[in-house]
Each structure stands twice: as structure tokens, then as C-alpha cells.
């Protein structure tokens, strides 16, 4: 079981290595891969040092599975080359998510669609993963008509340089500006670039990926994605309207019995999900569960998850575990 991690020195890549180790994935040969400037450096895995390789050298090693977190352009160029060599690529970028010939997978929801013939499998966007983890079991019961979601996204979703900007600004130091504005003591209503329709790419990912994962093109989704000065995870305010009526207690019971979801909801004890609880965890935390009293069959939820783990690395490793079993 030869495992390549492409982008091994990046923020998500380093968490992938950590998750592979934590979950005791049966790695017999680790192949860390990064840009040419990192080739020859070493990464630590299970107490051993492994040298970083370039792309072609990694392909020549014929990995069984390659976990990609190196950006869309890199994936578009190199994922097919790994696949042609017989490797199953699990890609964390947006490059393949909406390709009709590629599977977009959250294992707890639609892992059944993975087949032995799949050579490139897409890992969804972090904000999409946590939302559908909470909504998929409710969709099965009540069928979603419309979702209105506002996200409060950690700087780690942008990368290590954005985290450094926040830390430098917090310390009162001059910072290299990854964002157009300061992020310390500020919120920026822009995640990713703007599109012609006035929405950002991040917002439209929530629209299209949700429909694909839940296998329902009729679901209406509208999103506003906001960057906040937080390190530990993404938060989302989700308003969802169903076709069928529901009882709140049944909603609570469904979510409490959903694998990978933890309900934190006790207003009297001031218990609700926060990045403070989610950082370093794989679960998706759901709270502030309440009926929307302004319209029929609608519900409000607050959803929080560590965007580097379940939102990226852990979900990818879970897909790899399913592939390995095949």
C-alpha cells in the first residue's frame, strides 16, 4: 500500500500525514511529494523521516493511492498522469468536483458510489462537507427544498500565509497582506474570487457541490461566505426548508444518531458549537437547532467543524480507506 501525499509540506498535506498516522492507515511506503524547491527535504511520519520527491519520480514509484492537496492547476496537470500509472487519486482541490465523470464523495453520505474503475475521486469543499454532514440525514426524511447559508470561515482555509497575517496583526507586527484588508478585529465578506453573478467561487461551490453530493438538482441553495479572524474551524448559520413537516425532537434524534455528527445544544447551559471545541477534531458539531417560525417546514442550525480535518484531510483519508478495502 504505497501512499503518495502531493502537497505534503502544505497546511492540509501535513494534516493528511497526521490523520493517516492517527487512523493507522496501512501505509507500507510513504511517498511525500511537493514543489521542486522542497525536493530533498524530509517529512516525519510514524517517527521516521521520508524524503520529498518531485512529481515524476513519485509517479515512477507507482503509488497505490495519491492524496492531492496542491491546488487546482497542479491537479489538472498531474492527477491524470498518476491515474494513467494506475494510481487512485483523491483530490482536495476544486479541479474535478463538478466533472460529470468524477465522483464527489463524503463517505458517510455517498461512499457507495465509489467503484473499482474510479481513478480520480474528488474531495468536496470544506464548507460543503460540514453542511451536508448535518443536512443529509434530514434530507432523507423530509426532502430539502431550499438552503440559505452564511459561513464564518477560518483563515486556515486560505492557507499558512493567511494564518501568519492574522498572527502578525494580532501581535502588532507588520504583516504580509494575503487579504486586501486586515483580518485581525475584522471580518471580510469575501472567500475566493468574485464571479460575474456577484457571488464568489466559494459561495457557488456550496450551491453546486451540495446538489451533487445529495443527488438532488432541485435543491435551491444561496450562500454568503465570510472570512473571520479564527484559526480553529469554519462555522455556518444554516436555514433549511423542507417539503415535509417535522417535529423538533425527531430532528434532534436523527442528528444524535448520525455517524460523524455531534449535537451540542443546551441553551440553558450556554452549550453550542464553537471553533474552540472543533479544532483538532473530526466530528461535525451541530447546535442552536430551532424551528424557523417565519415560514413553514423550516429549521435553523449552527454547524461547526475543523476545516483542515473533516473539511479536507480526514475526509480524503476516509475515502482512501474505502478505496483500500476494494
Catalytic residues: 126, 234
Q: Say how far apart CA 316 and CA 310 lie, in whole Å.
A: 8
Among 279, 253, 282, which residue's Cα sits nearest to residue 265?
Answer: 253
DSSP-derived secondary structure for 31-74:
EEE--GGGTT-EEEETTEEEE-B-HHHHHHT--SEEEE-S-HHH
Kind of pairing, strands 234-242 and 298-305?
Answer: antiparallel
Cα distance between residue 86 and residue 4, in whole Å: 13
- Compute CA distances 156 → 26, 71, 160, 279, whole Å: 28, 15, 6, 11
CA dist., res. 155 & res. 136, Å (int): 27
CA 246 to chain CA mean position, Å:
29
Residue 187, Cα to own-chain centre: how many angstroms?
A: 21
Grid coordinates of 144: 430539502
Give the three cell numbers for residue 116.
Answer: 473499482
Beta bridge partners of 301: 238
How far apart are alpha carbons 243 and 73 in whole angstroms? Answer: 40
182: Cβ contacts below 8 Å, ≥ 6 apart:
169, 175
Count Cβ atoms within 10 A of the Cβ of residue 168 and give its class: 0-12 exposed, 13-18 middle, 19 or more buried. middle
Instruction: Taking each helix axis as running N to C, give the angle between helix 248-256 and helix 126-142, from 0 to 180 degrees, rounded to the nearest 10.
Output: 130
Q: How far apart are CA 242 and CA 326, in angstroms?
A: 36
Amino acid at each position: 500500500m504505497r501512499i503518495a501525499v502531493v502537497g505534503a509540506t502544505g497546511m492540509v498535506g501535513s494534516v493528511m500525514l497526521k490523520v493517516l498516522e492517527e487512523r493507522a492507515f496501512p501505509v507500507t511506503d510513504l511517498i511525500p511529494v511537493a514543489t521542486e524547491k522542497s525536493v530533498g527535504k524530509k517529512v516525519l511520519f510514524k517517527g521516521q523521516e521520508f524524503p520529498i520527491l518531485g512529481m515524476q519520480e513519485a509517479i515512477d514509484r507507482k503509488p497505490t493511492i495519491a492524496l492531492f492537496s496542491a491546488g487546482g492547476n497542479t491537479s489538472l496537470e498531474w492527477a491524470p498522469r498518476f491515474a494513467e500509472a494506475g494510481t487512485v487519486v483523491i483530490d482536495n482541490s476544486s479541479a474535478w468536483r463538478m466533472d460529470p465523470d468524477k465522483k464527489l464523495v463524503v463517505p458517510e453520505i455517498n461512499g457507495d458510489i465509489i467503484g473499482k474503475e474510479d481513478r480520480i475521486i474528488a474531495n468536496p469543499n470544506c464548507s460543503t462537507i460540514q453542511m451536508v454532514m448535518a443536512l443529509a440525514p434530514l434530507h432523507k426524511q423530509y426532502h430539502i427544498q431550499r438552503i440559505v447559508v452564511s459561513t464564518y470561515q477560518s483563515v486556515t482555509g486560505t492557507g499558512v500565509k493567511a494564518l501568519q497575517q492574522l498572527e502578525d496583526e494580532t501581535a502588532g507586527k507588520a504583516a504580509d497582506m494575503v487579504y486586501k484588508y486586515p483580518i485581525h478585529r475584522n471580518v471580510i465578506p469575501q472567500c475566493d474570487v468574485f464571479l460575474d453573478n456577484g457571488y464568489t467561487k466559494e459561495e457557488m461551490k456550496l450551491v453546486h457541490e451540495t446538489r451533487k453530493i445529495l443527488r438532488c438538482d432541485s435543491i435551491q441553495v444561496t450562500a454568503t461566505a465570510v472570512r473571520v479572524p479564527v484559526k480553529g474551524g469554519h462555522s455556518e448559520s444554516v436555514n433549511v426548508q423542507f417539503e415535509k413537516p417535522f417535529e423538533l425532537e425527531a430532528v434532534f434524534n436523527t442528528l444524535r444518531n448520525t455517524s460523524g455528527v455531534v449535537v451540542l445544544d443546551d441553551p440553558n447551559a450556554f452549550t453550542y458549537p464553537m471553533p474552540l471545541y472543533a479544532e483538532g477534531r473530526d466530528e461535525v458539531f451541530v447546535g442552536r437547532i430551532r424551528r424557523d417560525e417565519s415560514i413553514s417546514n423550516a429549521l435553523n442550525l449552527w454547524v461547526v467543524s475543523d476545516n483542515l480535518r473533516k473539511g479536507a484531510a480526514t475526509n480524503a483519508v476516509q475515502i482512501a480507506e474505502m478505496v483500500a478495502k476494494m
